[in-house]
Amino acid sequence: MTDSSPRDLFPGALEMMILESLRRQPAHGYALVQHIQHRSNNLLQVEEGSLYPALQRLLKAKLVKAEWGISSTNRRVRTYQITPAGMRHLEDEISSFERMFEGIALVLNPGKSIVN
Amino acid sequence: MSWIPNIFRRRILYSDLAEEMRLHLEERTEQLMREGMSRKEAELAARRAFGNRTVLEERSRAVWQWPTLESIWADVCYALRQLKNSPGFSITVILSLTLGLGANTTIFTFVNALLLRPPAVADAGHLVEMMQRNAKASGIEAYLPLSYPGYSLLREHNRTLAGFAAFDGDPRPVSWSHNGEGQMVFGQLVSSNFFSVLGVEPVLGRFFKPDEDKLGTSAPAVVISFSFWQHELGGDGSVVGHTLVLNGSSYTVVGVAPPSFTGILIGTKHDFWAPLAMTPTLIHDPDRMGSDTSFWLFGVGRLKPGVLKSEAQADLTVLIRTVHSSDPNAATLDASVFPVQLVPSPFRGYVAAFTGLLMAAVGLVLLIACANAANLVLARATTRRRELAVRSALGASRFRIIRQALTESLMLSMMGGAGGLLLAYWSIPALLSLKPATIPVSIEAPLDWRVFSFAFAASLLSGLAFGMVPALRSTRRDLLPALKDERQLAGPRRSRLRGSIVVAQITICLVLLISASLCVRSLFNARSIDPGFSTHNIAVAQLDPGSLGYTEAQDRQFYRQLLERVRALPGVSSASLSDNLPLGTSRSVHGVHIDGFTPPPGQDSIPIQIANVAPDFFNTMGIPVLNGREFTTQDIHPESTGVIINQAMAMHFWPGRNPIGQHLKEDKQTLEIIGVVKTGKYRSLGEDPLDFMYLPLDSQPQEFLVVRTRASEEAALGEIRRVIQSLDPNIVPMEMESISQYMALPLFAAHTTGVLLAMFGSVALLLATIGLSGVVAYSVSQRTNEIGVRMALGANRLDVVRLILKQGMLLAGIGIVLGLALSFAATRVLAGLLYGIKPGDPLTFGAVSLFLGAVAFLSCYVPARRAASIDPMKSLRAE
């Protein structure tokens, strides 16, 4: 079932960013949001809460796993960690995303393609 | 199937999620407060940044849900709401289906009880039942049980069976001396290995040991049935070792059979089992065990591992030929090996034909019910066009809408199926009571898992059958006119479909009604068939003092005293005895020689069915003596040679001559005809005149007492019972009934088919009437505008009535014509069941068609009248 509700990002983008962040280090939801906003120089204005449906989808697909624990700031947090399947999925996604991005770029900047 | 654990894990998943979100908001709030916001501002800002928490939580949860299952549940809830909103429609459809599915479930319960339910034995797949079969004969007549010597030989010498047991096919009525008087119980004689071969375990005590099945054993043993133990002995836990006095001898109870075990033949409900070696003492038949010409035992064996039925059959056939080696006809005797079933193979064909006929009838009723439902659903789909259009405009796919529509149909059919089960639950005891109470046969028809599966499958199929076409139809069309509330003129296609459904209903209904009428008329015919004897003011009692070990002299003494005392009773005008009654279950045949006639091929004498009767028999039974005289006491002696024949026999062998004084030979004896009586019915009510001969009854242990009374038969039966008691309190009459109760048995088949088909026919008529008037009423509602225009243009009420009637009656007419054609073919199946009426009886066909036509006319007339009362102004303004 695809989620047809409108989203600011294209489908799968948020998941990809979450996986990429988790590949660097395990994190809980709040830290993930901070990380993504920070890394994108606040260019991506996602609703913080929209992270959670994405996290649930990743959990269900067993691309990440979650565990309750205590953070360095002594808070009770649910920390997410990428699984080996998540790693593979991320790599596939990134390469297909790059191909798509390349295609879009070619269409948007026809001049460059001739140069290339 | 990860959704299964997910369903249980969900609660945890959801609470984790909620907690996680709460912590997130808390962390953000604290962060914002550190940046200098007040708590209130910070909380607000945190919530804004988070987004709509409820929606997000819902969307997160949705990830874990099993979408199809849950949307099906939503469909079910929606369907129930829809059905609740149109109770008239729902109730009509559910009741139609309840009738249709109830009839099917009921009949299936009997099919299950007779043909599908396995007997309560272990590993029935490796058990085989065995009878001898005469390859020269056909049908049921070809099957022959085993004799005891035959069984012993097969048991000793077979190489294919791990165990070979035998049982007496007939339940034996036995007098159980109990509290100073006799009580009739039923027992079965079985070989000692009977239970172990079947793999049945006792609930108490043990089953028979081999030495208990030896003639002259000092320890006569019986095993009692669970229900006898519970109901007659109060479930006494110390019953093993107790003594029962059966037919005058003592037997020790050695064990109790499990509750599920009532024998392996349908209809038997034994109170106890005794070893075969008890035959001489229990049923006082000393010669039976040694006789190689009394065939009374069914064989049942367990196949050795890896042995096929066909191999066992070949093995046993060789042995059977050995048994009969002295008999030149034995070459045609085979072993017939078949599965152990409640109704054994040789009889299954008859049962299947009868139940198959009933299944076909109720199948037709269900078809009519489904047609009704389809028509109502179609009509409703039209009124719901707007709703469907709105839903598909809002983005519901066609598949989704069809699924929703089918869910509604299935809800209806499931409710109908549940109603049908309830109907079956109530009607089964009623149908079982159609069986004459005096027949010692008990049939269990439980609602087991097979019945439930059948009801479920039938409901499912009906739901799909009547829901699919309307669902496909109603979703295949343009939204726009529906959304704009344009009233569609009843399209020709749509009304053609509905019309053909009605035609089919009328057709099927006529077939059922004609069949039912034929059976009902046949029942009345059967009732009015003259059986050749009087069918009122006669009391009948069957007695067997021989079972108590009476000697011949004691028998003679008992019957003489009985007749004397009964004849002296007030209200009794005459009484007599006979060893078997016409239309009874037993018959005996004598071979005779008559000058000028040769025996039929393959036989050395002419077989004539006979009965032994005492003086005054014809007078008591109301059988007219046409010529000569009845037997008198002078005829009752061993050297007596006088016989009485029926008129059919007189016409057959002495046409145009006076049969009185003519002779016929039986073995060495020459018999002389002293009387001719009116021909009656002897085997079945439908039979052609049969030759019959009466011999004087000297003395036999088992006899029927027939008593002609001036007063009520019930009172006479009570008096007779007291007389028997006074002669010997241990004698229990096997049957005590009025002659009309006695006649229930020969009328049973006609009675059952008549009653059942009449019931199904009425249900079919009711359903078809609802269907036809529903369709006509619907078309009236669709044509309101048209009728309004017609009336505005000058049509009068009569024209309108005629218009509507014409449409309805056209459908009915087509249905009746098709139904007539189909009935000619269908009623042929009934030929064997009908008395005194031909399957294609023109009077029945004509009258039933007219009747159905009249009912159709009425069911069109009511809506037509309503159409005529349409106010043209109102209907046009509504446009």
Complex-level ipTM: 0.83
Which tokens hold the place of B774? 């529903």
Amino acid B856 reads A
Which tokens hold the place of A58? 């990743």
Q: Do A52 and B17 touch (CB under 8 A)?
A: yes
Residue A76 touches partner B, C-beta closer than 8 Å: yes
pLDDT at residue A2, as a whole number = 41
Structural contact between residues B192 and B214, judged by C-beta atoms closer than 8 angstroms: no
Q: Are strands B642-646 and B692-696 parallel, antiparallel or unpaired?
A: antiparallel
Q: Do A56 and B51 touch (CB under 8 A)?
A: no
Which residues are within 8 A (CB) of B317 and not within 5 positions of it... i.e. 6 or more apart? B334, B335
* Nearest chain B CA: its distance from A39 CA (Å): 18
**H/E run at residue B380:** helix B345-383
Nearest to B132 by CA among B295, B304, B343: B295
DSSP B836: S
**Domains of chain A from N-terminus onward:** 13-115 (1.10.10.10)
A77 to chain B: which residues are within 8 Å by CB?
23
b/e per residue B367-405 (b: at least 16 CB within 10 A)? bbbbbbbbbbbbbbbbebbeebbebbeeeeeeeebbbbb
Structural contact between residues B787 and B875, judged by C-beta atoms closer than 8 angstroms: yes
Q: Do A5 and B27 touch (CB under 8 A)?
A: no
Nearest to B608 by CA among B635, B579, B646: B646
Nearest to A29 by CA among B161, B49, B661: B49
Please say if the pLDDT value at position A1 is more than 50: no
Residue of chain A with shortest Cα separation from B20: A78
Backbone angles phi, psi at B174, to 5 degrees: -135, 140
Which tokens hold the place of B175? 């007098």
pLDDT at residue A115, as a whole number = 44
Q: Which contacts of B359-363 are long-range, i.e. CB under 8 A and separated by 24 or more positions? A: B359/B104, B359/B107, B359/B108, B359/B111, B360/B829, B361/B512, B361/B515, B361/B756, B361/B757, B361/B760, B362/B100, B362/B103, B362/B104, B362/B106, B362/B107, B362/B760, B363/B104
Residue B395 touches partner A, C-beta closer than 8 Å: no
Residue of chain B with shortest Cα separation from A74: B27
* Nearest chain B CA: its distance from A36 CA (Å): 14
- In B583-732, where do the E strands start and end? 588-592, 606-613, 625-628, 642-646, 663-666, 669-677, 692-696, 703-709
Residue B597 touches partner A, C-beta closer than 8 Å: no
Cross-strand partners of B251: B244
d(CA B761, CA A5): 57
Q: What is the pLDDT of residues A12-28, one digit of tens each?
A: 788 888 999 999 889 99
B53 to chain A: which residues are within 8 Å by CB?
49
| Low-confidence spans in chain B with pLDDT less than 50 | 1, 489-492
b/e per residue B719-758 (b: at least 16 CB within 10 A)? bbeebbeebbebbbbbbbbbbebbbbbbbebbbbbbbbbb
Q: What is the pLDDT of residues A53-71, one digit of tens each?
A: 889 889 888 899 998 888 8
Q: Do B60 and A78 touch (CB under 8 A)?
A: no
DSSP character string of A13-41: HHHHHHHHHHHH--EEHHHHHHHHHHHTT
Amino acid A34 reads Q
What does the domain layout of chain B look like in residue ranges?
Answer: 3-65, 69-117+347-486, 124-341, 494-531+746-879, 538-742
Q: Do A78 and B20 touch (CB under 8 A)?
A: yes
pLDDT at residue B414, as a whole number = 95
Which residues are within 8 A (CB) of B698 and not within 5 positions of it... i.e. 6 or more apart? B556, B612, B636, B637, B638, B640
d(CA B827, CA B163): 48
Identity of the residue in B13, B53, B67 whose CB atom sits nearest the CB atom of A1: B67
- In B330-473, where do the E strands start and end? 333-339
Residue of chain B with shortest Cα separation from A2: B63
Residue B672 touches partner A, C-beta closer than 8 Å: no
pLDDT at residue A99, as a whole number = 86
Chain A stretch 3-62, residues whose beta carbon is closer than 8 A to a beta carbon of chain B? 3, 5, 28-30, 33, 47-50, 52-53, 55-57, 59-60
Residue A67 touches partner B, C-beta closer than 8 Å: no
Q: Do A53 and B60 touch (CB under 8 A)?
A: yes
Cross-strand partners of B684: none
d(CA B156, CA B166): 13
pLDDT at residue A3, as a whole number = 41
B13 to chain A: which residues are within 8 Å by CB?
56
B3 to chain A: which residues are within 8 Å by CB?
none
Identity of the residue in A47, A49, A76 whose CB atom sits nearest the CB atom of B23: A76
A75 to chain B: which residues are within 8 Å by CB?
23, 27
DSSP B330: G
To probe the interface with A, which of B23, B29, B400 has the most A CB atoms within 10 Å? B23
pLDDT at residue B568, as a whole number = 92
Please say if the pLDDT value at position A35 is more than 70: yes
Q: Do A57 and B63 touch (CB under 8 A)?
A: yes
Amino acid B493 reads R
Residue B444 touches partner A, C-beta closer than 8 Å: no
d(CA B150, CA B317): 12
d(CA B547, CA B778): 72
Compute the Cα dihedral for B355, B360, B366, B370 and give only its sign: positive
Q: Do B56 and A49 touch (CB under 8 A)?
A: yes
Residue B10 touches partner A, C-beta closer than 8 Å: no
Cross-strand partners of B167: B190, B298
pLDDT at residue B438, as a whole number = 65
Q: Do B51 and A76 touch (CB under 8 A)?
A: no
B16 to chain A: which residues are within 8 Å by CB?
66, 68, 78
Q: What is the pLDDT of residues B586-598, one digit of tens each?
A: 777 888 899 888 8
Identity of the residue in B20, B57, B64 whose CB atom sits nearest the CB atom of A29: B20
Could you tell me how many CB contacts below 8 A there are between chain A and chain B?
A: 63
A1 to chain B: which residues are within 8 Å by CB?
67
Residue B66 touches partner A, C-beta closer than 8 Å: no
Average pLDDT over residues A87-93: 90
d(CA B414, CA B808): 31
